[in-house]
Amino acid sequence: MKKGNYLFTSESVSEGHPDKVCDRVSDAIVDAFLGHDPYARVAVETLSTTNRIVLAGEVRSTPETVKSVSDQMEDIARRAIREIGYEQAGFHWKTLDFHNYVHEQSADIAMGVDAAGNKDEGAGDQGIMFGFACDETPELMPAPIQYSHNILKSLAEARHSGAEPRLLPDAKSQVTLRYQNGKPVAATSVVVSTQHSGEIDQDEVREIVRPHVLNVLPDGWMCPEEDFYVNPTGRFVIGGPDGDAGLTGRKIIVDTYGGAAPHGGGAFSGKDPTKVDRSAAYAARYLAKNVVAAGLAQRCTIQLSYAIGISKPLSVYVMCDGTNEVDQDKLSGVLQELMNLSPRGIREHLGLSKAIYARTSAYGHFGRAPEADGGFSWERTDLVPELKRAFGA
């Protein structure tokens, strides 16, 4: 998005959305492995449908860890679903059927990725990854996706706390903002669809949702009443995996920038940090956020590219859409001096070999507050002083 007058829309989905149920289960299994072995390799996919969960994928760790976590996978999945809140006839954490097809990692992949002799740890796959930051919100995120996430987080907190027991886990939001001269100034429409108990009607759901939207949007930004859509189909009682099948990794735009920035195409959830789909996307966000936080640009997009088995990135591209206060080529060089962008360097710099991933599985991987135990470490702005020194800012 550049300067000008236009409308821009982003959507989010709740932790109870079928795809997000799968992301949560997959990331809970990643956490289980990393909690036992910080060097474990994990790539686990989850399928959900009516009262059924299916796991598939590959893992590598010590024999003791593989056996221990494999024995726990069913309990891990059921616990994740219980924490989301599914206790419905068509999808219940206690009664659903569970199937596990996870196996050990391919030796060919392991050979290419492992460090050996003078060879550093290589990337887990080829691919391109993007990071982005802008000054539209305090979180340095695009406003439409940030507000979409925040609306659903607010509804989920009310549901989990018991303040609004008539809400159920599955929900979606969509926010359209009007931009003037490239800056967001108001919402032109808001869409919220939330699963609810059968005892309330559409008008009641609308009034439950309304304060959550008003509290999230800046004062005076609420859309016209006729453009405030809540459960526009009229009823949303059957939801979650009972209503639609879910798969890990199908909400990559929700997970990142809501379409306001490029995406390399790789999903995050279910993957350990040797997979650059995940770790390099986190690194690119970290660098872009620090550039904007340092006042060196109002917008910053960073692309990294890798080849499987090769540790050094093939390219590092920085673009600031003309908002930069410093030379972009020099900026690219300084960023590479400040952070080793090999898979090992990223993992060590951001402390990614920890059990910190289940919490990322809903409401966005970016725009979150860094946590004391290392969660969301890529949201830190600790490079700001060094960036300012490098450019005399």
Q: For 231-290, what is each residue's pLDDT tens digit?
A: 998 889 999 999 999 999 999 999 999 999 999 989 999 999 999 999 999 999 999 999
322 CB neighbour count, 10 Å cutoff: 11
Q: What is the pLDDT of residues 24-36, one digit of tens each?
A: 999 999 999 999 9
- The dihedral over CA atoms of 88, 93, 94, 98, expressed in degrees to the nearest 10, equals 120
Half-sphere exposure of 93 (CA within 13 A, CB side): 18
Q: What is the pLDDT of residues 83-118, one digit of tens each?
A: 999 999 999 999 999 999 999 886 665 555 665 554
Q: What is the pLDDT of residues 37-64, one digit of tens each?
A: 999 999 999 999 999 999 999 999 999 9
Region 362-375 average pLDDT: 98
Q: How confident is the model at residue 3 (pLDDT cuts 50, 70, 90)?
A: confident
Q: Residue ranges for the binding site for ATP?
A: 17, 170-172, 235-236, 244, 250-251, 267, 271
Domain boundaries, the chain: 6-13+143-238, 127-135+276-390
**Cβ 110 vs Cβ 264: under 8 Å:** no
Q: What is the mean pLDDT of the chain?
A: 95
122 CB neighbour count, 10 Å cutoff: 24
**Cβ 318 vs Cβ 331: under 8 Å:** yes
Neighbouring-strand partners of residue 302: 131, 318
Alpha carbons 3 and 292: distance in angstroms, whole number: 17
Nearest of 266, 391, 382, 375 to residue 326 by alpha carbon:
391
| pLDDT of 385 higher than 90 | yes
Q: Do domains 6-13+143-238 and 127-135+276-390 have the same CATH topology?
A: yes
Any idea which fold 6-13+143-238 has?
GMP Synthetase; Chain A, domain 3 (3.30.300)
Q: What pLDDT, on a 0 to 100 scale, did the predictor assign at position 105? A: 81
Q: What pLDDT, on a 0 to 100 scale, did the predictor assign at position 109? A: 58
Neighbouring-strand partners of residue 88: 91
Indicate which residues carry an active-site annotation. Answer: 17, 19-20, 45, 58, 172, 236, 244-245, 250-251, 271, 275, 277
Q: What is the largest CA-CA distance in the chain?
A: 67
Rounded to whole angstroms, what are the CA distances from 371 to 255, 374, 381?
Answer: 18, 6, 13
**Cβ 120 vs Cβ 311: under 8 Å:** yes
Tell me which CATH code domain 127-135+276-390 carries: 3.30.300.10
Alpha carbons 287 and 302: distance in angstroms, whole number: 8
N-term to C-term CA, the chain: 26
- Burial bucket for residue 211 (CB in 10 Å: 0-12, 13-18, 19+): exposed
Neighbouring-strand partners of residue 131: 302
Rounded to whole angstroms, what are the CA distances from 61 to 39, 40, 46, 58, 280?
Answer: 7, 5, 20, 11, 22
| pLDDT of 121 higher than 80 | no
Which positions ≥6 away from 252 have C-beta within 8 Å?
263, 265, 266, 267, 268
Q: Residue ranges for the binding site for Mg(2+)?
A: 19
Which tokens sit at 70?
A: 């494999």
Which tokens sit at 335?
A: 């960023």
Q: What pLDDT, on a 0 to 100 scale, did the predictor assign at position 111? A: 56
Alpha carbons 378 and 365: distance in angstroms, whole number: 9
136-142 long-range contacts, CB within 8 A, separation 24+? 136/183, 136/184, 137/367, 139/366, 139/367, 139/368, 139/379, 140/289, 140/292, 140/293, 140/367, 141/257, 141/364, 141/366, 141/367, 142/1, 142/8, 142/10, 142/257, 142/258, 142/260, 142/261
Alpha carbons 207 and 178: distance in angstroms, whole number: 24
pTM: 0.95
Q: Residue ranges for the binding site?
A: 17, 19, 45, 58, 105, 170-172, 235-236, 244, 250-251, 267, 271, 275
